[in-house]
Amino acid sequence: MKKYALIGYPLGHSMSPLIHDELFRIKNRESSYSLEEISPEELDGKGDFLRGLNGFNVTIPHKINVIKQIDELAESAERYNSVNCVANDGEKLIGYNTDCDGFLTATKEFPLDKNVLLIGCGGVGRMMAIETALHGGSVTLGIIPEAMESAQKLKEEITAKIPEAVVNIAIISELDGKYDVILNASPVGMYPKTEACPVSDEIISGCTHVFDAVYNPVKTQLITKAEAMGKVAVGGASMLVYQAVKAHEIWDGDFYSEEEINKIIKAVEDKINEGQVK
């Protein structure tokens, strides 16, 4: 039996076993998937354990530090200097970033080449900003004042990678004008503070598409408001599942139909709605 795992610290209640176990089941693969809490202090000593796995996923706080344990980085991991999926080919560990695949698949109908407002600029927000710029979109980083230094560094990083990129920085409370797409990469609206919304109703009303990386609750205030206004609105559960699907493509060469994937997204959303995820 092949062995896979998610490493991170702390892990709490993760949706990963539900998603990956179902993906293995669909393809009749006898594989196990476990949660492995590894503290930052323990990571350097876990090399043998990690090499004993057929593959593993990586979450906070190890996405950068795990690179020291890896023999080779795929282009996606090099692009972000961040790894969330590792494959063991029997001779070496190869690191990938499938968060970008999850994001782009979840937003495949979005006009990312237009005027895009991105709330948040750390972690997943950095990836979304770079991908939007690569797609030719004009990116406005909507931030709180405390994040100004991080936003400026991200702007410099993007323009160094993509000289023609258009990147602006704006304080969220001072936002005005119209954006075609709103992307939320901040924790605003996440359980348990579910009544919060990252942008005003006026900003939402001016867009056509909304994506919220928050997946708990399934319907954040941002998604609820956008849907009520007739916007195309996609929640974070889809990105969560799509990035896992990409991992199985990397590990086993497995591909899944849209119908199979949608069933897993629904199962994840149902589990969240039942209150089994905090």
- For the stretch 193-216, pLDDT in tens is 999 999 999 999 999 999 999 999
- Residue 67 sits at the vertex; the CA angle it makes with 66 and 73, to the nearest 5 degrees, is 135
Q: Which homologous superfamily is 101-234 in?
A: NAD(P)-binding Rossmann-like Domain (3.40.50.720)
Q: Pull the structure tokens for residue 91.
A: 């001779």
The percent of residues in the chain predicted with pLDDT above 90, rounded, is 94
- For the stretch 128-182, pLDDT in tens is 999 999 999 999 999 999 999 999 999 999 999 999 999 999 999 999 889 999 9
Among candidate residues 3, 27, 46, 63, the one labeled active-site is 63
Q: Are the CB atoms for 71 and 51 separated by under 8 Å? A: no
Is it the case that residue 275 has pLDDT exceeding 80? no
The reported pLDDT for the residue numbered 12 is 82
Q: Are the CB atoms for 189 and 160 separated by under 8 Å? A: no
- List, by residue range, all CATH 3.40.50.10860 domains of the chain: 2-97+238-273
Strands (DSSP E) along 10-122, which ranges? 31-37, 55-58, 72-73, 85-88, 93-96, 115-119
CATH of domain 2-97+238-273: 3.40.50.10860
For the entire predicted model, the pTM comes to 0.93
Question: Edge-to-edge strands of the sheet including 72-73?
Answer: 31-37, 2-8, 55-58, 85-88, 93-96, 72-73
The reported pLDDT for the residue numbered 108 is 97
Q: Is the peptide bond before 217 cis (omega within 30 degrees of 0)?
A: yes
Residue 63 designated active-site? yes
The Cα 123–Cα 28 span in angstroms is 34
Contacts of residues 85-90 at CB distance under 8 Å and 24 or more positions apart, as own/partner, are 85/55, 85/56, 85/57, 85/58, 85/243, 85/246, 85/247, 85/250, 86/50, 86/55, 86/56, 86/57, 86/58, 87/55, 87/250, 87/251, 88/51, 88/53, 88/54, 88/55
The Cα 167–Cα 231 span in angstroms is 24
- For the stretch 241-257, pLDDT in tens is 999 999 999 999 999 99
Max distance between CA atoms of the chain, in angstroms, equals 55
- For the stretch 221-237, pLDDT in tens is 999 999 999 999 999 99
Residue type, 275: G
The Cα 20–Cα 172 span in angstroms is 37
The Cα 278–Cα 62 span in angstroms is 21
Q: DSSP 3-state assignment of 170? A: strand
The Cα 106–Cα 112 span in angstroms is 12
- List, by residue range, all CATH 3.40.50.720 domains of the chain: 101-234
**Closest alpha carbon to 210 in 118, 99, 102, 273:** 118
The reported pLDDT for the residue numbered 277 is 58
Q: Pull the structure tokens for residue 258.
A: 């849209």
